[in-house]
Structure 1
């Protein structure tokens, strides 16, 4: 049967395809759906007798264009989102690495980077990501997006300028921390916070550290944008101390290529995910995702911080 072998071999492209789809959408579930739709398209093409010379090129193009369509329809939802929007976290832990396509996600797709991409149009985002993150040459970017090579060069330059104009230096993707060093830093950080060691915690935070929380109007978070070492220290220490008193525990994890943790309630259900942006030995930004709609792919979700429906 034509294409059967190609489809089996094409399964090896799933990590790349998922990374592209996730980079476009910021959603784990939607990225998985897009990848699945692309493979269904490949299967249907083979069943129709269409020869696919390069399955990888076919699938990459399909995923990118499906991502562009997704963003075009998601724009209105993003504009009406309650509070700060953060992408669904990709969590990788030593004892539960998750699906291979998640575990192999490029470290460059940090939360900070994905938030920056929100300023771009769907086509700008696709061109910028294919070129900047995945290193595609302009002729390939043009083929994938259906634009001319000249147009892609202009789109990329415009997208890069928009990101440079709209973001502060702190919002750029931090240099990838070494895994072991990052996890050790996170361990000391969360131990200091939970134990109320204010001096140690202050020393691990940048003076102008930022804390952002995404509850989506459905869950309590650490709060919306909070700035300053003293304020963040008091809030973190108080929140983790109260959480521990009601059975909340945390497990260190690698979150979107950065050190972080997943918090669980007394029944082992996910409460939230915390990502730490660390540079120069200090935490520059803390991002927490508590929106229950963004945590289901990690495990059963707690109702500990869920807001009543009439507060949404």
Structure 2
């Protein structure tokens, strides 16, 4: 049983990729280990603990998504996943920083278009590189069915903007050199936004840049995605100016393996998390999570961005 703990980072990443929630992923992994413990106590011989746990996490994830979809249909505003954050001051559990950082927010949002079983098959095959016999065992489907499900899921993801060969298995986490370049651009980007330097900011924004915000109806956020570089620049400059007037500051961090920042108040409490999608030397997308329900795993949550309760 003790040896099985080495699989926790993988299991967390599968569960997180399925749910987009750090808390739910932790619960699913815990339930999977509990099931393994009960099986051992019942005298069941588990020849392959890794396969047993992967199957358990996958099926728990499918069951969870089936009920979560009902809740997300009534979600206020845009839905973004809970951020996995790695920074010098908030390193978090190691399992949050390993395989999970290959799952960008943009990719996880695309996965929302899939059914629970499609998502499981696509994740195991595309992201984690499982062969079809393993995918079939984990999902309880036949190999032939899994091949059909994967092909269907790939088409649906491609329709949402994902290009073959551009998924997390191919582009993330980035190698150290590219990561350092992205972090330097992010630093310059945030400095320009904080300083109100619109021209410098526009030079770093892609022509088709998109800004996404998730406040969940509980914190300030854009009602829908914002496009066009100048509008995105205005939003960033105005937002950071307002936050700075409230005593907030930026702390560089890796968000789901991508450059970004934590926005914290004067007491160091997290107000929001910003992830930058950087490619070809420009920012292609900005994802900001300010919903307090999605920040609790990072520590104390600030109330400077909260909307008044109705």
Give me the TM-score of the superposition, normalised by structure 1. 0.94
- Corresponding residue for residue 190 of structure 1: 190
- How do 1:216-295 and structure 2 match up within 5 A? 216-295=216-295
- CA distance in 1 between counterparts of 2:208 and 2:38 reads 53
Is 2:130 the partner of 1:136?
yes
Following superposition, the deviation at residue 108 of structure 1 comes to 2.9
Is 2:47 the partner of 1:47?
no
Q: Structure 1 segments of 4 or more deviating over 4 A?
A: none
- Corresponding residue for residue 20 of structure 2: 26
Q: Which moved more, 1:118-127 or 1:106-115?
A: 106-115
Is 2:32 the partner of 1:38?
yes
- Corresponding residue for residue 61 of structure 1: 55
Contact 2:212/2:288 (8 A) holds in 1: yes
Contact 1:222/1:235 (8 A) holds in 2: no
- CA distance in 1 between counterparts of 2:244 and 2:90 reads 23
Name the SS for the 2:33 alignment partner. Answer: helix
Name the SS for the 1:309 alignment partner. Answer: coil
- CA distance in 1 between counterparts of 2:119 and 2:111 reads 6
- Corresponding residue for residue 81 of structure 2: 87
Following superposition, the deviation at residue 139 of structure 1 comes to 0.5
- Corresponding residue for residue 76 of structure 1: 70
Contact 1:112/1:173 (8 A) holds in 2: no
- CA distance in 2 between counterparts of 1:243 and 1:144 reads 46
- Corresponding residue for residue 207 of structure 1: 207
- CA distance in 1 between counterparts of 2:78 and 2:161 reads 15
Give me the TM-score of the superposition, normalised by structure 2. 0.94
Name the SS for the 1:231 alignment partner. Answer: helix
Following superposition, the deviation at residue 28 of structure 1 comes to 0.2
Deviation digits for residues 238-271 of structure 1, max 9, x if unmatched? Answer: 2112222221111101001111000001111100
- Corresponding residue for residue 303 of structure 1: 303
- CA distance in 2 between counterparts of 1:15 and 1:57 reads 14
Change (3 A) 1:77 1:59: same
5+ long unaligned stretches in structure 1? 1-6
- CA distance in 2 between counterparts of 1:48 and 1:223 reads 52
Aligned residue pairs, count: 302
5+ long unaligned stretches in structure 2? none
Deviation digits for residues 156-192 of structure 1, max 9, x if unmatched? Answer: 00000111123366xx658344222221111111001
- CA distance in 2 between counterparts of 1:306 and 1:88 reads 17
2:153 alignment partner, one of 159, 165, 181: 159
- CA distance in 2 between counterparts of 1:10 and 1:193 reads 46
Is 2:18 the partner of 1:16?
no
